[in-house]
Structure 1
Amino acid sequence: MQRYTYEPLPPSHIRLLTISTGENDQLYATIRPVPFDEKNPPTYSALSYVWGTAGFTTAMKCNGNTVLYITPTLDEALRNVATLLRDRESIWVDQICINQQDLEERSQQVGMMTGIYQCASKTLAYLGPPTPTTALAIDLIRRVGTIARKMAGEIFLQDREERNRGLASLMTKEEISIEESEKLGISFRDLASWDALIEFYDRPWYERIWIVQEMLPSRSGFVIVGTLSVSWESVKGAALWHFFKAGAVPKRHKPSVRGIELTANMDLPWDWRVGVGCVKELAGRRVMPTFRWELSRLLAMFRRRKATDPKDKVYALLGLSEFDLGMGYFTIDYAKDVKTIFTDTARAILKGDSDRKKPNLDIILQARRTTCKCEVDAEPQAGEWPSWVPDWRQHSGTGCTWGIGEDFEEWHDEHAAGKHVEELSDIASNPFALVTRGVVLGRAVYVSPYRHFSDMAQQGRMREARDEFLGMVSSYPTGQDVDIAFAMTMVGGVLPKSITDRGHTDRWYVDNYLNCIDILSMPNGTTEEDQLRDTKVIEYWLAGFEDSWYQIAQNAYCERRWYVLDTNHVGLGNHRMQQGDVVAKLVGLSMPCVLRPLANGKDYQFIGEAYCHGEMAGLGKGVPPGVDIPAKHSLQKIVIV
């Protein structure tokens, strides 16, 4: 039997198929092209599933007398979802409806996928075959999902304030007691049902990058396991409720896929929205507004998700971003290599668009490299990858297995990305170079060997580090006391509310934090010594040294090293920082960064973010259009490769 041959698609067309089974359980399909207009779409469902790694090995009869080879996972999915389709109902399936061998068609059709899923009458997400506990899980998911919906209201309410009020109660971390769970009809004592629920979310489908674009725009979604199904609204609501409320449920099994967290993570903050487009009534149903989100935030939020083709780490999110609203800096092109695609993406984001958003250099902060090999899909060799371009094949930019190496969020300066950024995009002779302007604050003359706050605290090295700094620096450039500058650096310049709300000053904090750390790091001793230690710990706790203080310190000083510049500035730099690196402020970047001078004496390599005490204001802060940056800093051309 001949293989099915794809005919070129006319402009603004998609393919749809109908499926049926015949003798010997043979799967049959009819494929046909149809015009596609989002304002007047055809009637069809869309499929979401896991491709798998087995290859195109399963034959499916197609259009009467030809055969098309598909993956075994798709064959299984089609056989099961067929029971949920009406007779002769059309369905859209990427693997079949897109000619995967035609890169030009693939690029064009992927650009339409958000609209395809948004216009589908329903999206069917097939997770795989059932287990003995699937029915039990679905029953609990429906009950928990109902409770979540009552708390949050409609998940996609168009009124932002109304939606936020509902979600605020659902997405507040609190531990529901066993007694409360029983009153709700979802007893935490029913361990079999809760184990089944966790198992339901422990499937590879939840890790896919594509489900973000497939499920978020959908008007109606159903999650299918075998022939059993439950609404996507219930699956999402149950995940949110479990993540924020079910801390009292015993953790008896460790899932291999963090499906509950990944599903809860798909509730995108409306504060990130761009644009106000809205699809009108489709098929008589009220639908979700077609808001888009900033691509830089989407890339950061979903970078842990998996993609068979690494190019899809970008392409799977474009349709949900501002780039789907006509910001034509680049188009989807699978013929390009990963390095070029990621570079084009980063450059398009940092250029921005004057009509919709300010240009912003902060995208390069996602380019910091990890030290945890378990979090890397692919690690480029030195010199093979532009140092300023994020490698979104890496699962995380934090580089910490603890999951707490976070940005210096408190110092993000929304005014830092000013009018001057639009002048930074000089195209160098090297197409992978970034040409910008900035100020070098100084060169590192000392870099600490410790890259975690807890390493120093638990080993009793914090006081030693403080004394070492005082021995190097006798006066601080800002005029602040040297010991205060060091202490504030260790917490990223921000004291917790538990300290400030009690009216404590920076000086009070500096006079007490080392004693608190010494007590916390004391080893176990005699009963009397332990009792004395516990008494002191309580005293410091009541004074303001609560868990929030230690967490702030861990977040600030995680996968970073404290350093001293030749200008006597102290700070925290990316864990890859070395002696001889420089700390610089770049126009349009909301915080300082670490750069490594190259041997040619002209170019730099981007190393990562930095906190520099007393120098955290962005270069563009408060600068009105047409007004030069204050002369405190003399800007120089900086080329990053």
Structure 2
Amino acid sequence: MAVPLGQTYEYSPLPSKTSIRLLQILSRAEEPIRCSLEVVDLNDEPLYDCLSYTWGDPLYHELSGPENTRRTTGERNNAITCDGLVLCITENLREALLQLSRNASSSTAGHDQYQRQRFIWIDAVCIDQGNLSERSSQVAMMNSIYKAAQTVVIWLGIDDVHTKRAIDVMNRLSSIPPEKLGVELPSNLDDPEMYSALGIPYIEPQQWLDYAAFLQRSWFSRVWVIQEIFVARNVVVFCGSNVLLWSDISASSQVLRETQLGELLTGTVVSAVSPSASTAYVGNTLTNPFIFENMRVKATSLNLEKLLADGRYFNATDDRDRVFALLGMREQPPVHTVPYDIRPEYHTNVQRVYTKASWATIYEMEDLNLLSLVEDASFRKLQDLPSWVPDYSVAPQTHPLTGNPRVAVGEERWNASGGLKWEVPAQMDLLLLPVEGIRFSTIIEFAATAAEITDLYQMKTLLDLLVHYPQPRYPDGGTPIEAFWKTLIKDTFHGQPAGKEARRSFALFIALRVWELKEALENLRDTIEYSEPKPGPLDPLSVDFAQLSNVYDQTKAAISVLSTKGMDGVIPDWKAIEHLIEIGQGEASPEKDDLDRDSDHIAESFRVAYNGRRLFSTEGNYLGIAAQSLQKGDTIWVLAGAAVPVVLRPLPNGNWKLVGEAYVHGIMNGEAVRGDDIKPERIQLE
């Protein structure tokens, strides 16, 4: 019977703080969806399942042709019947309800059929979304709601052109024994030796893209699913009519995370979607299922800082949910009383939510290493946040120097603040962070960003700081060249302090940048040669060629100067660089294999250290890397409670703005705070 227009479902208030609504699906397969809502009390231990899904389009379309694309929205414009009245839901939820009404009658993955409970809890339907007070109180109960469910049903969305092949790849990867994940693999997905080393059949390039499209479905990047999976007793996964094992999904994702396959696959996807795009990144959404499972394993050590940091790899329709969705997973409150209570409050703006969460993190961790999670200003979405508060609404673009997660106590790499004592502030303004520390030095010069070095071939700006270095020794007594190359990789190679292997490999970093520059120049020359001349006095291609030729000449000149200064072979001469390039472009050989391996390692060390940062020099001739938005006149500080130095910018009112954390060679382990004449200053960050 048709439902008369205008008779829409209206929610009645919930009778108690522990009341929830549960949905019962009354319709059968292929019938119009009919359902009913019933109010129950969680304390009565009702039997029900929970649905974990995404409101918007569930599919990843970038790897599908137009003929295979079916796009949906998060609009609630699909009418179903609830207790005889009209209730509007999203298209993806409608598809999920249709599949549940079929009761998983088929399973191409070969796993046991799912027998659902009579009732199921679904946020969009069981919460009155237009009632902010109810929404806040119900969100605060999400942990309890999902924990009490018999099964958490994951709905990844309908089948698409990628599904069948993606499941096949997932099954192959999940079968790889853990002991094989530590082997060194070729840096090419097409190399048969990779599959031989892993003990699995060869995976075709298109199959890899199918698997990537599967893992980039919207569900895998939704922040709420972290908690929903974290507390689940049992999990069943639907992808269309396919019933999958969560253990297979997380195990295959772990393979990507713990080998270089994740890096290679991400690069392949980027090239397939946008061949000209840069592949520099930190967050790899292809490994999000592994993050889920890793959280489940480490459930007893999930402090708020770790949760907020990992939550940045996921998406949320409401940016406040990047905090609210994680609170239920938090470990026991700290000894200190947190000054600002954080709980789901949808009448509070996102800036205040993030600031209160940051205060809570500082109190829990009892230090200021939260400052290392603050991204460069150019990456922030919320421009009116206090400078010391991370913008949790954006994915991280740099690897924190303090690590994420933090290393175990006693295994910390750096302790720049040395013996400076940090005390938890007793009273404070919500927006101001009081700190105490040593004003070390001022930035006077800086080089290009990672993007400029990669895309505009500006390695010469790095070399210029070394060419013009004003003294024969570095302030710590070492050589300028050692400080230079160690700074560019934050003195880290293969996760360990950089040593002889890194020093030897750094020459390959120089050669690789030169090769990229030569290739760009030759390609542009060929383009000009085979292009029609443009009218007018200045042909844009000729101008580009002249500019790039100038960069090439300046780079060659800088290398020629440095290679004659006794740089211990770290900066090779031009002839040696051309020889390295010749080997790299030559036929396969043991020498080429060694060169390719070392080149990959030093390139990755540079990427991890330098992405989102830039090299700088100070008044005292120290070298460092810090946030790419730094300016001349910014100041290096060592703050009590912070493991690494920070760059601060003075404000007209006497307060300071955080620019970002910094690696400064020679002061990473307390050197800047030693001496009887050291007098800490008290300042405020805003």
- Report the TM-score, using the length of structure 2 for normalisation: 0.71
Matched position secondary structure for 1:596: strand
1:200, 1:449 → 2: CA distance?
37
Residue 263 (str. 1) matches residue 289 (str. 2): yes
Matched position secondary structure for 2:491: coil
1:611, 1:56 → 2: CA distance?
49
Aligned-pair CA distance for 1:631: 4.5
Mapping for residues 123-522 of structure 1, pairs under 5 Å = 123-132=152-161, 134-135=163-164, 137-138=166-167, 141-142=170-171, 144-145=173-174, 147-148=175-176, 151=177, 167=178, 169-170=180-181, 174=185, 178=192, 187-188=201-202, 196-241=210-255, 247=261, 254=272, 260-268=286-294, 273=298, 291-322=300-331, 329-352=341-364, 358-369=365-376, 371=378, 378-380=381-383, 384-398=384-398, 407=401, 409=403, 412-413=413-414, 420-424=421-425, 426-428=427-429, 431-449=430-448, 454=453, 459-460=459-460, 462-469=462-469, 471=470, 473=471, 476-494=474-492, 500=499, 511-516=567-572, 522=578
Higher relative contact order (CA 8 A, sep 6+): 2
Aligned-pair CA distance for 1:449: 4.5
Q: What letter matches 1:79 in structure 2?
A: L
Q: What letter matches 1:391 in structure 2?
A: D
Aligned-pair CA distance for 1:21: 1.3
Q: What letter matches 2:307 in structure 1?
A: L
Q: 1:424 to 1:566 in 2, by over 3 A?
A: farther
Aligned-pair CA distance for 1:585: 0.9
Please provide the CA RMSD for this pair.
4.5
Among 57, 81, 88, the residue aligned to 2:77: 57
Among 137, 147, 157, the residue aligned to 1:108: 137
Aligned-pair CA distance for 1:188: 2.1
Among 593, 599, 604, the residue aligned to 2:656: 604
Contact 1:29 1:61 (C-alpha < 8 Å) held by counterparts: yes
2:90 is matched with which residue?
71
Unpaired segments of 5 or more residues in structure 2? 1-6, 57-72, 104-113, 275-282, 404-410, 508-562
Aligned-pair CA distance for 1:413: 3.9
Matched position secondary structure for 1:421: coil
Matched position secondary structure for 1:516: coil
Write out per-residue CA displacement over residues 536-583 of structure 1, whole angstroms, 9 at most, x where no aligned residue.
Answer: x969978x9654344323433333233232333332222111111100
Q: Give the length in aligned residue pairs.
A: 568
1:561, 1:79 → 2: CA distance?
53
Q: 1:618 to 1:178 in 2, by over 3 A?
A: same
Aligned-pair CA distance for 1:395: 2.2
2:683 is matched with which residue?
638
Contact 1:223 1:231 (C-alpha < 8 Å) held by counterparts: yes
1:158 is matched with which residue?
none
Matched position secondary structure for 1:33: strand
1:585 is matched with which residue?
638
Aligned-pair CA distance for 1:637: 0.8
User: Which is worse superposed, 575-584 or 436-445?
Assistant: 436-445
Among 551, 558, 581, the residue aligned to 2:604: 551
Contact 2:312 2:392 (C-alpha < 8 Å) held by counterparts: yes
Residue 5 (str. 1) matches residue 5 (str. 2): no
Q: 1:484 to 1:201 in 2, by over 3 A?
A: closer
2:584, 2:243 → 1: CA distance?
58
Q: What letter matches 1:421 in structure 2?
A: W
Contact 1:588 1:619 (C-alpha < 8 Å) held by counterparts: no
Q: 1:551 to 1:69 in 2, by over 3 A?
A: closer
Among 42, 57, 67, the residue aligned to 2:46: 42
2:61 is matched with which residue?
none
2:117, 2:466 → 1: CA distance?
74
Q: 1:130 to 1:490 in 2, by over 3 A?
A: closer
1:80, 1:534 → 2: CA distance?
55
Matched position secondary structure for 2:23: strand
Q: What letter matches 1:213 in structure 2?
A: Q
Contact 2:49 2:116 (C-alpha < 8 Å) held by counterparts: no
Q: 1:477 to 1:532 in 2, by over 3 A?
A: closer
Unpaired segments of 5 or more residues in structure 1? 152-166, 274-289, 353-357, 399-404, 622-628
Q: 1:519 to 1:426 in 2, by over 3 A?
A: farther
Contact 1:576 1:607 (C-alpha < 8 Å) held by counterparts: yes
Among 622, 630, 654, the residue aligned to 1:569: 622
Q: 1:503 to 1:95 in 2, by over 3 A?
A: closer
Matched position secondary structure for 1:304: coil
Q: 1:512 to 1:370 in 2, by over 3 A?
A: farther
Matched position secondary structure for 1:610: strand
Identity %: 24
Contact 2:76 2:91 (C-alpha < 8 Å) held by counterparts: yes
2:584, 2:132 → 1: CA distance?
70
1:505, 1:515 → 2: CA distance?
10
Write out per-residue CA displacement over residues 429-482 of structure 1, whole angstroms, 9 at most, x where no aligned residue.
Answer: xx311111111101222333455795698745554321212x2x4665434444
1:475, 1:293 → 2: CA distance?
45
2:619, 2:504 → 1: CA distance?
29
Q: 1:633 to 1:541 in 2, by over 3 A?
A: farther
1:350, 1:486 → 2: CA distance?
33
Matched position secondary structure for 2:366: coil
2:22 is matched with which residue?
16
2:464, 2:194 → 1: CA distance?
50
Q: 1:185 to 1:498 in 2, by over 3 A?
A: closer
1:606, 1:598 → 2: CA distance?
10
Aligned-pair CA distance for 1:616: 1.2
Q: What letter matches 1:12 in structure 2?
A: T
User: Which is worse superposed, 224-233 or 449-458?
Assistant: 449-458
Q: 1:4 to 1:518 in 2, by over 3 A?
A: farther
User: Which is worse superposed, 228-237 or 175-184?
Assistant: 175-184
Q: What letter matches 2:608 in structure 1?
A: N
2:671, 2:497 → 1: CA distance?
31
Write out per-residue CA displacement over residues 259-293 of structure 1, whole angstroms, 9 at most, x where no aligned residue.
Answer: 6432234342689x4xxxxxxxxxxxxxxxx5351
Matched position secondary structure for 1:218: coil
Q: What letter matches 1:68 in structure 2?
A: L
1:486, 1:261 → 2: CA distance?
33
Matched position secondary structure for 2:568: helix
Q: 1:484 to 1:49 in 2, by over 3 A?
A: closer
Aligned-pair CA distance for 1:47: 0.2
Q: 1:33 to 1:416 in 2, by over 3 A?
A: farther
Aligned-pair CA distance for 1:57: 2.2
Q: What letter matches 1:637 in structure 2?
A: R
Matched position secondary structure for 2:637: strand
Q: 1:514 to 1:70 in 2, by over 3 A?
A: same
Q: 1:520 to 1:632 in 2, by over 3 A?
A: farther
Residue 119 (str. 1) matches residue 148 (str. 2): yes
1:333, 1:193 → 2: CA distance?
44
